[in-house]
Structure 1
Amino acid sequence: MKGELMKTYIAYFDETGDDGVTINSSDHFILTSLYMPAESWQQNFEKMRILRRELKDKYGFHVSEEMHTKHFLTDKNPYREYHWSKETKQDIIKAFTLTIAKMDLKIVNVIIDKKKFKDNNYHVLENALKYNIQRIENDSDGQWNYLVITDEGRIAPMRKTARAIRAFNPIQSKYLPGFVNHPISNMIEDIMEKNSSESYFIQICDFVSFFVHLYFKIEIRKEELPKRVGTVIDNLFVKRVMVTLKEAKKLNLKANETNMYGLVIYPK
C-alpha cells in the first residue's frame, strides 16, 4: 500500500444478552459487528431509508421508530400499539433481512457461551470485543483501516480493551506451541459511541445479533424458541434469515471456518 491512500471502513457494534456472570445473567452473550467501506456508507444508508419509508406507507411503521428486534418479536411497546398480525411482523422481518442482504457490508458474530466456563472473573464483554476486532483486523489484511462505533452504555471497558490490544494481542501460533503477539494496527481512534435510536447500522447489528441468539438456542443448544417469539416465527424462519445473509455473502465466514455461518464461539 506504499504510496497509496489507505481506504477507511466504518464498523458498528451491538449485542444480545448481558455480559454479567451472576445467576440472574443471560447464559450466553453475542457481540455482532458490521463493517463497510466508507464510500459505501451513503448507499447503504439510502437502502435502509427507502425500506423505512416503504414500511411506513405499507404498515404505518413510523420512520423514526427504532427497530429493536427482541422487543418487536416479543410484542413490547411501542410495537404493541401497532396491533400488527403475525404475518405482518414476518413480512417486516423479511423486508429487513432482504435489505441487509443488498448492502455492501460484512458481519462478524462472536458468542460467549457462559455455560462453558466456571470462572466468574471471565471478562465476557472484553473477550467478545477482542475476538470480534481480531476478525475485522484479519479481514483488513493491512489493506484498509477502520473506525469503530458502538451503542451507548459500555464505552469505558470497550475503549480500555481496544487500547490494550493495540499493544498486546496474543494469538495462538500456527507453527509453534504457545502464543505470539499480533498487536491491532489498523483500528483508528478510540471506540466511539452513538445512541442506537439514531443509527440504522447499530439497529442492523441488533437485528442480526438477535437472530444469531435464536439460532444458537435452537441449533446449538437444542432448546425451544422463547415462547413469545415462537408465537410470531418458528425455527425454520430463523434458519431462513441466517441462510439469506449467508447466501448474500454478508457473513464473514472466515471468522470461523468450522462453523457454517462463521459464528465465533468461545470458550472452546
Structure 2
Amino acid sequence: MALVGIIGAGIGGIATAVQLARYGIESVIFERDRIGGLIRNAYSVENTMFFPDGIKGEKVVEILEEYVRKYDLKILYEEVRAVKKAGGLFEVETAGGVHRFKYLVVATGTRPRRLPFDGITYHVAEVPERHYGRVLIIGGGDVAFDYALTMSERSDEVIILMRSEPKALPYLQELVKKRSNIRTLMGQVREIRPINGKQKLLARTSAGNFEVELVLGAIGRVPNIELVQGIEDDNLFLVGDVKNGIYRQTALAIADGIKTAMVIWRRERYGDTE
C-alpha cells in the first residue's frame, strides 16, 4: 500500500509526488483526464522565475510528463467518486475499487463559474485547432486576457467583454494592447443563441450584437473541494489552487506541493506534528 494518495495531476499534485519520490516515499496520483490541469490553457507562464520570456502551457505539460517518467510516478486515470476516513486511513473510491492511504493530498484545482447560456466553452485547451473569424471572450481577469492572447494567434478578431475595468495583471494587459486583432469592450451578455443555417452564434450584449464562431467564458473559478468537505484531519493536505482562492499562481502550487511532501517526510522520519 502506498503511503500517500494524491487527487489531481496538475502542477501541484505532480510537484508533491516528485518531492515524495525524492524522499523514497511512494504515492499514487488519481487523475480523471490528462496531467497538467489548467496549466495546459496558459498562453504564457513566466512567474516561476525560470522562464523570463514565458513558456507555453502545453510545454509545461511536456515538462511535467518528463518528471513523471523520470521518477516513475504512479498515475491511475480514474475519477475519484468519494473520499472518507475509516480505521485511521483515507479511503479513496474509484471505479476500480477502494484505495487506502495514511496521507491524502487534494490538488483538484478549480472549476469555472458558468454563465446561464448554452454554447460557451470554458477551457481554451478544449477549443478545436483551426482558424476562427471572430471570437468573444467574457471576463476581465487574468484567464480572460490569457485566453485572448491564445486565440489571437488563430482568429481574425478577438473581443474581450468585461462588466467593469479589467482586473488582469498589467503584464497581460500590455500584451493584449500590442495585438491589433484584440479589442476590449465594457458590457454584459444578454443572450447567446445559434444562428440558423450558420455555424455561428449571435451574442447579444449591452455593448452591441456580435456574430461569433466561438464564445469563451472566463468569469472566475471556484475550488473543487466537494470530495473532502466535512473531513478534518491533520493528514489531509490541500495543495495549489484548491486552497489559494484568488492567489492562483503556478509558483505557489509548486511550493505548496513541495512543502506538503516535506511535512509528510518529517512526520514519518521524526514524528513531527508541526
- In the superposition, the TM-score normalised over structure 2's length comes to 0.32
Task: Return the structure number with greater helix share.
Answer: 1
Give the greater-gyration-radius structure (CA).
Answer: 2
Task: Return the structure number with greater strand share.
Answer: 2
* Highest RCO, 1 vs 2 (Cα 8 Å, sep ≥ 6): 1
